[in-house]
A and B are shown apart, each in its own frame.
Chain A
Amino acid sequence: MSAPALAPLLAALGALASHWRRRPGQLAALLGGLAAATALWSGIQALNAHARASYDAAARELGGGARLVAAAPGATIDEGVFAALRRAGWSVSPVVEGAVRANGATLRVIGIDPVSAPAGLAPGVFGGGSGDDGGDAGDGGDGGAPGGGHGSRAPGEGDAARDLAAFITPPGLALAAPETLAALGLSPGARPRAQGGRPLPPVRPAAGAPPGALVMDVGMAQAALGLEGRLSALALAGPVPPAAADLPARLGLSMREAPAGADLARLTASFHMNLDAFALLAFLVGLFIARAAAGLAFEQRRPLLRTMRACGLAASTAAWALAIEALGAALVAGLAGLAGGRALARALLPDLAESLNALYGAQLGAELAPGPAWWAGGLAMSCAGALAAALGGVWSAARMPALDSARPTAWRRAQRRRTRLQLAGAAGAGLAGAAAFGALGGLAGGFALLAGAMLSAALALPAALDLALALAERAARRLGALAHWAAADARQQLPGLALALMALLLALGANIGVGAMTEGFRRTFEDWLEQRLTAELYVRAGDPAEADALAAWLAARPEAAAVLRESEARLRIGGWPVALRGAPDHPTYRERWPLLSAEPGARDAIAAGRGAAASEQLARRLGLGLGDELSVPTPRGPWRLRIVALFADYGAAEGKLRVNDAAMAAHFPAADRTRMAVRADPAAVPALAAAVAAHGPGAPQVIDRAALKARSLRIFERTFAVTAALNALTFAVAGAALFAALATLARARLAQSAPVWAMGAPRRALVRLDLAKTVALALGTSALAVPLGVATTWILVAVVNVEAFGWRLPMHVFPGQWLRLAALAGLTAAAASLAASRALSRTPPATLAKVFADER
């Protein structure tokens, strides 16, 4: 298609535009569909980009560009190693990193040594704190070459020097981004307590601190994390000494560029891909509206195009004009959609932030500021959508002969051809999805399978409805002429409504699929929590000494039937963060702890310190199965454990290994032993909880199972809040699609209804029949959405969830939900049909009769 001359192009554009002036509703459907598609897509993109930017900020914090010396994955480094490297001439600085729960949120604790830390490690932390426009502190850049050339960074003179002193001398300082402090409800100087009751240093706002992190002196961080004497990594602050270049390797250490903060991006990748998939689905549903409107507009403008062709307009110019028109619509709708997308992202951000924090301990910044790439990407999506919607028209216009016949289309033959094509497409889409699933596997394969199933079902829908209507037509013959006509007419109406019904099918299928998955998850999760929370009371003491005293005190209380002390150590295995939990061998666990699967004698193997129970997600990540051996790095050397059981650990991002408490103490002398679970008579729990909370001096944290359960369920609800919102929006868009399709068809429908009216069918009967037809089509679509929804649930439960979260749920179906959704679809259709058939009931008889007049 070569570029056309300007004058004919402008003339064609003007003539084409006149159509929209007469059909504002159609224009609204086209623009609205594109805008809705763009809004849903770009809103999710804004959220994902925002989350990724927050992870990047967190990752940059721990040495963007700074090289780290780290232990084998999963292990920590002894402080002695640090000293040995320093002695050998290595310019390294200690780093401790971990997570604590404080004030209801998970925070990253980053411990650095401010004197020896290289520039780029914790950049900007000393810069903007408490009105201090501090010295030569890093500027939050990407941590390039250190400015002073001395390889280490000192926080300037004056105030900055006092800051440094305050930072390193007890109680120290915990520097945090202002929005993190605001989110936690902390004012400067406050001393939050970590969940175990360990006090953290007083907080101070520092503009350069990454969201969700507390930056403190390495010694304070060790205390806060229970990692006394251990380091997470060593940051390289100067050149490698040639003479001792191989020392780290001899010590079992390795150089690593990627910071530990990259874990977040890795852990959450699947979560975001999940959102991307839903955004794409929503985009497609919106596109159906645009496509329906563009297709109808093209058919209605066919005579106009024919006339222009006869007047000498080149086919390529006509095609160009249609394409330019589509791009114009894309720009207008795209900008509106982007504005909507930003509003949508703002509305969904709090839920997303809370569920990401609960699931992964990630902390998102509060301000959503989509950049130019986002605007450009959204407009590009809108343009791509508009072109996809207009493609059929552009193609036909480019090939339209100057003498296009004005013969009315033979709808039956056209329909048969279209049905064959659609069925072939349905088979192709299904096969392609299955093939992609086989070839790709994993999350991408799961989504390919899902997309294939959805596309296949959508394409098969018209044929299936046509078949159902053909049967109905036969049956309705006995019910009388009108019923028979209505069924036959619905078949003819089908192509005009097909796109809207496909959109409805997709929305219903997604709703059924996601709804059943969520509801099934909720039930599984509740049951699991019920069993999993074995003890009546959970206590965490402030420090080990206090924990020992508290345990002794509790053991002496008659209402406490058992005190089960648990220990915890955090390490990395295979690059993944893992919490190793030790628990005593007690009937409480033997009887009540739910296992997904276990070897015979699993409990005994665990009690003997030979076996471990692995959480489902850890086993999946590391590719572990029952009977596999695992080497756990410990301060006392590797600990060989056999995986003897697997347990579900819904909602946890981190992998967990459960072992015997005594065996754990032998391997991890410094493990955190501040937690305990208390079995007690339920009636005595409130009084006991109050007594524990008052037990001095460290004010232990106490939570009973009911409160713990409520908190867990709330996190659960938040996790699916975004999906649920997207689902509801998609359904609304599908309803709008149906409405737009019926409204634009209403005029054409008159020509079908008028002869029937002329032969003596009252108008009211015709309006009722129209209503019945539309509702029946919506209900038929709902019926077909059920198998699609069940397939969707299966793919979500068996493939996507497993990949995205690491756990597999039992599959549930909820017929009540199907009925609710079908009723909703029927009501939507009824509302749309009534609005559209106002055309029929309001048209003056003279206009209706005109259908028969010769001048038509």
Chain B
Amino acid sequence: MLSVTDLRKTYPAPDRPVEALRGASLEIGAGEAVALTGESGSGKSTLLHIIAGLDEADSGSVRVDGREMSGLRDGARARLRRARIGLVFQQLNLIPSLNVWDNLTFQARLAGREDRAFARALLGRLRLEGLERRYPEELSGGQQQRVAIGRALAHRPALVLADEPTGSLDEAAADRALDLLLELTRDAGAALLMATHSLRLAARLDRRLHLSGGVLREAACGGAGRAAGMSAAGGGG
């Protein structure tokens, strides 16, 4: 479903160039939920950005659903991204000028596959009914993050990329948000790649990849995987 081979990325810097990725490779199957751990500054965001087509690698290849991303122009990458990928960031990046409903359905409409019934159901599962007409500034942080999660799924992507999606929430809220994310991606049949520095949260996913020194290694999950995570819903922390 997602296949990344030998990605290299060097950022120019005044004193010494930063080699953020030095041959990172990974494979994720359809519907799989994978955690990406690593210290701060290890290159997690860089990797996610390249997979999402937000940034370009110096070399290596990224295939989403069998389609090669590298080498595409901005327009083509944008089309691929809006159709197949959903993004959740720590910085919520809701669109401040649009209300909850329009934010939720934005990417679906952009991709030309708005499904109002699906979006309405999503709204219910995110416990956001009645808030459709509110604007982001009128929501709490947790509510905002739930809108962002819904927005990443409303267009039924094949792959959801999440970069520290719960980083700005307290532990309990983080657990609840992660529950929702896992539950909704599974129901949608989407794969999930989530960067986090929390081993506790990482343990609730199917697999864990550790990024260190610019390369990825399969790491012990340290938990019971997704099923266990679900059974622990609401009880984390």
Whether A193 is near chain B, meaning CB under 8 Å from some CB there, is no
Residues in chain A near residue B137, CB distance under 8 A: 408, 410-413
Q: Are A851 and B75 in contact (CB under 8 A)?
A: no
Given contacts A489-B97, A755-B95, A854-B163, whether A760 and B89 have CB atoms under 8 Å apart is no
| B83-A849 in contact (CB<8A) | no
Asked whether, in the complex, the Cβ of B96 is within 8 Å of the Cβ of A411, the reply is yes
Residues 746-790 of A contacting B (Cβ, < 8 Å): 752, 754-764
- Smallest beta-carbon distance A544→chain B, Å: 83
Which residues of chain B are within 8 angstroms of A852 by Cβ–Cβ distance? 45, 49, 54, 87, 89-91, 93, 163
* A400-411 interface bits toward B, Cβ cutoff 8 Å, 1 = contact, 0 = none: 000000001011
Cβ contacts under 8 Å, A760 to chain B: 78-83, 85, 107, 110-111
Residues of A within 8 A of B97 (CB): 485, 488-489, 491-492, 752
Q: How large is the interface on A (under 10, 10 to 19, 20 to 34, 35 or more residues)?
A: 35 or more
Q: A760-B82, A851-B91, A856-B91 are in contact. Are A845 and B56 (CB under 8 A)?
A: yes
**Chain B positions 38-56 with a Cβ under 8 Å from a chain A Cβ:** 45, 49, 52, 54-56
Q: In whole Å, how far is B147's beta carbon from the nearest beta carbon of chain A?
A: 12
Considering the chains assembled together, what is the distance between the CA atoms of A296 and B89 in angstroms? 28
A761: chain B residues at CB < 8 Å are 78, 82, 110
Could you tell me which residues of chain A, from 466 to 496, have a CB within 8 Å of some CB in chain B? 480-482, 484-485, 488-489, 491-492
Residue numbers in A under 8 Å from B164 (CB-CB): 854
- Are B83 and A854 in touch, CB under 8 angstroms? no
Residue B29 at the chain A interface, CB threshold 8 Å: no
* Residues 91-124 of B at the A interface (beta carbon under 8 Å): 91, 93-98, 102, 105-107, 109-111
Complex contact A762–B79 (CB within 8 A) = yes
B65 within 8 A of A: no
User: What's the Cα separation between A794 and B80 when bound, in Å?
Assistant: 58
Q: Of A411, A755, A763, which is within 8 A of B93 by CB?
A: A755
How many Å lie between the Cα of A450 and that of B131 in the bound state? Answer: 47
Tally of contact residues, B, Cβ under 8 A: 40
Most chain-B Cβ atoms within 10 A of its Cβ — which of A410, A759, A761, A853?
Answer: A759
Kindly state whether residue B74 has any CB partner on chain A within 8 Å. yes
* Interface check A745, CB cutoff 8 A: no
Whether B78 and A849, one on each chain, are in contact in the complex, defined by CB atoms closer than 8 angstroms, is: no
Contact with B along A792-813 (1 / 0, CB 8 A): 0000000000000000000000
Does any Cβ of B come within 8 Å of A848's Cβ?
yes
In this complex, the member of A754, A757, A852 whose beta carbon has the largest number of chain B beta carbons within 10 angstroms is A852
Q: Does A846 contact B (CB under 8 A)?
A: yes
Q: A716-745 CB contact bits vs B (8 Å, 1 = yes)? A: 000000000000000000000000000000
Known: A759-B107, A764-B75, A854-B167. A412 touches B54 (CB 8 A): no
Q: What separation, in Å, do the CA atoms of A481 and B113 have in the docked complex? A: 11
Query: With the chains together, A86 CA to B45 CA distance in Å?
Result: 107
> In this complex, what residue of B is CB-closest to A766?
B78
Contacts of A492 in B (CB 8 A): 96-97
Most chain A beta-carbon neighbours within 10 Å: one of B79, B102, B110: B110
Which chain A residues border B78 with CB–CB below 8 Å? 757, 760-763
User: Could you tell me the distance between the alpha carbons of A488 and B96 in the complex, rounded to whole angstroms?
Assistant: 9
Is the CB–CB distance between B109 and A480 below 8 Å? yes
Partner of B98, one of A488, A757, A848, A851: A488
Partner of B45, one of A408, A484, A489, A854: A854
Cα distance A517–B97 when bound, in Å? 42
Task: Give the residue name and chain of the A residue nearest to B95 (CB).
Answer: A755
B110 contacts which chain A residues (CB < 8 A)? 480-482, 759-761
Which A residues lie within 8 Å of B85 (CB)? 760
Query: A763 vs B81: C-alpha distance in the bound complex, in angstroms?
Result: 13
Chain A contacts of B80 at CB under 8 A?
760
Measured CB to CB, the closest approach of chain B to A836, in angstroms, equals 18
Residues of B near A485 (CB, < 8 A) are 95, 97-98, 102, 106
CB nearest to B114 among chain A residues: A481
Taken together as a complex, chains A and B put the C-alpha atoms of A214 and B94 apart, in Å, by 79
Q: Give bound CA distance, A205 to B54, whole Å.
A: 81
- B107: A residues at CB distance < 8 A: 481, 759-760
B165 to chain A minimum Cβ distance, whole angstroms, is 11
CB of A852, distance to nearest CB on chain B (Å): 4
Contacts A481-B110, A854-B164 given; indicate if A764 touches B93 (C-beta within 8 A).
no
Give a binary string over B55-80; 1 marks a CB under 8 Å from any A CB, 0 the rest: 11000000000000000001100111
Contact partner of B90 (CB less than 8 A), chosen from A408, A763, A849, A854, is A854
In whole angstroms, how far apart are the Cα atoms of A856 and B167 in the complex?
13
Q: In the bound complex, what is the Cα–Cα distance between A853 and B11 (angstroms)? A: 15
CB neighbors of A among B163-187 (8 A):
163-164, 167
Roughly how many angstroms separate A224 CA and B151 CA in the complex, as a whole number? Answer: 92
Report the Cα distance A484→B105, complex, angstroms: 12
Q: Which residues of B contact A759 (CB under 8 A)?
A: 81-82, 87, 106-107, 110, 151
Question: What's the minimum C-beta distance from A497 to chain B, rounded to whole angstroms?
Answer: 14
**Residues in B neighbouring A848, C-beta threshold 8 A:** 54
Query: In the complex, what distance in Å separates the CA atom of A269 from the CA atom of B167?
Result: 71
The CA of A845 and the CA of B73, in the complex, are separated in Å by 12
**Would A853 and B96 count as touching, CB distance under 8 A?**
no
A762 CA to B45 CA, complexed, in Å: 21
Are A849 and B54 closer than 8 Å at their CB atoms?
Answer: yes
The answer to whether B45 touches A853, judged by C-beta atoms less than 8 angstroms apart, is yes
Nearest-neighbour CB distance to chain A for B46, whole angstroms, equals 8
Cα distance A756–B50 when bound, in Å?
Answer: 17
Contact call A854/B91, Cβ cutoff below 8 A: yes
Residues of A within 8 A of B102 (CB): 484-485, 488
- Residues 803-856 of A at the B interface (beta carbon under 8 Å): 845-846, 848-849, 851-854, 856
Output the nearest chain B residue to A473 by Cβ-Cβ distance.
B97
Min CB distance A774 to B, Å, is: 16
- A347–B14 Cα distance when bound, in Å, is 51
Q: Which residues 218-233 in A have Cβ within 8 Å of B in the complex? A: none
With both beta carbons as reference points, the residue of chain A lying nearest to B79 in the complex is identified as A760
- Determine if B49 and A752 form an interchain contact, defined as CB atoms under 8 angstroms apart: no
Q: Is the CB of A481 within 8 A of B96?
A: no
Docked complex Cα distance between A760 and B52 (Å): 10
Known A-B contacts A760-B111, A761-B78, A846-B49; the reply to A851 vs B93 at CB < 8 A is: yes
Residue of B nearest to A487 (CB): B97
Q: Give the one of A408, A755, A845 with max B CB within 10 A.
A: A755
Binding site for A on B (CB under 8 A): 11, 45, 49, 52, 54-56, 74-75, 78-83, 85, 87, 89-91, 93-98, 102, 105-107, 109-111, 135, 137-138, 151, 163-164, 167
A-B contact pairs, 27 of them (CB 8 A): A411-B96, A481-B110, A485-B102, A485-B106, A488-B95, A488-B102, A489-B95, A489-B97, A492-B96, A752-B97, A755-B93, A757-B78, A758-B52, A758-B87, A758-B93, A759-B82, A759-B107, A760-B81, A762-B75, A762-B78, A846-B49, A849-B54, A852-B89, A852-B163, A854-B90, A854-B163, A854-B167
- Contacts A760-B111, A761-B78 aside, 15 further interface pairs with beta carbons under 8 A come to A410-B138, A411-B96, A481-B105, A485-B98, A492-B96, A756-B106, A758-B81, A759-B106, A759-B107, A764-B74, A845-B74, A851-B93, A852-B45, A852-B54, A856-B91
